[in-house]
Homo-oligomer: A and B are copies of this chain.
Amino acid sequence: MKLASLKHGRDGRLVVVSRDLTRATDAFIVVATLQQALDDWERFAPALAALAEQLEHGSVPSFRFHEHDCAAPLPRAYARRHAAAWPGYPALLRQAAGAEAPAGEAGALRHAASDGFLGPRDPLTPDDPAASLDLSAGLAVITGDLARGADAAAAGDAVRLVTLVAEVIRHDRLRPDGLDLDGAEAPALAASLAPVVATPDELGQAWRDGSLHRPLLVSRNGKALGCPDAGTDLGSSLVALVAEAARHRPLGAGTLVSAGPVSNRGIDGGPGRPTAEGGAGYACLAEARAAEALTGGWVRTPYLAAGDRLRVEMKDVGGHSIFGAIEHDVV
């Protein structure tokens, strides 16, 4: 099933969304918010799935689903752990910076802000126009409860929902490992989730080996920045990250484990090529810039500026949007 939260108060109003994202039906007869559903998933999920089935058959009252009415599916979460799970990204940034990548650092999980995800169509309002703002697009899973030290099988079973994530970060102060230059957290100005979350069973064959195997479509002002495949060149599967997150402490229902940016290497094993040169492109501006610096010496891709429109989406094999689109205007 697919779920979304319409803008309403701090936690949104939960709706069940049709597979093709055209129609929705209120979930409040079952449960009011996504966090409440996750807190007691065994009780609520079957009723929500039944509602989804009725929605597909047209046997329940429904309304047109508009992505721009959405808050983030989970507008605030109690926990988020984030990793640069595609090692091509930190390796390339480090290479461009002239430093050697310390072994084992890519893929390390860090705590990340989870208390105020932007809605998928909310505008971005940077606080410092002079900062080098970047977009980093990736994937997120939302888990149920998971015991400390759980194995990969239990971690896989704990994945309740899958969606897309986009982070707006200040890249001028960011180290390749995602930390600020002085060792503190990088100031993530904002993060957003796709309009819709989907249960793994909804993803069919694209969800396998603990990860989602589809290209992530990232564009800027209608022009493709990249379409790297999320199932390729992945250092740690999403499920492996969930298990890693639970290594030292249990995870609570509604924990987000996110990974990004998606990054594919070139066919020669080197930096990924721009889409204009037949490559998979990039899911963040910093990687595009680093690749330009390494291959051509001339950095053509600017950081974000007012007036830019960013779009992040993932489509199924039939070309239909799976989670809806994250689309932000920079104002």
- What residues of chain A have their CB less than 8 Å away from a CB belonging to chain B? 10, 39, 76-79, 102, 104-105, 108-116, 127, 148-149, 170, 175, 177, 179-180, 182-185, 187-190, 247-253, 255
CB–CB B249/A110 < 8 A: no
CB–CB B105/A127 < 8 A: no
CB–CB B113/A182 < 8 A: no
- In the bound assembly, the distance between CA atoms of A265 and B248 in angstroms comes to 33
Q: Which residue of B lies closest to A249 (CB)?
A: B189
Q: Which residue of B lies closest to A78 (CB)?
A: B115
Task: Report chain B residues within 8 Å CB of A189.
Answer: 248-249
- In the bound assembly, the distance between CA atoms of A45 and B209 in angstroms comes to 50
CB–CB B111/A111 < 8 A: yes
- In the bound assembly, the distance between CA atoms of A277 and B114 in angstroms comes to 45
CB–CB A248/B187 < 8 A: yes
Minimum distance in angstroms from A40 CB to a CB of chain B:
9
- In the bound assembly, the distance between CA atoms of A182 and B115 in angstroms comes to 26
Minimum distance in angstroms from A233 CB to a CB of chain B:
21
CB–CB B190/A249 < 8 A: yes
Minimum distance in angstroms from A220 CB to a CB of chain B:
22
CB–CB A108/B184 < 8 A: yes
CB contact between A115 and one of B179, B247, B255 (< 8 Å): that residue? B255
Task: Report chain B residues within 8 Å CB of A149.
Answer: 127
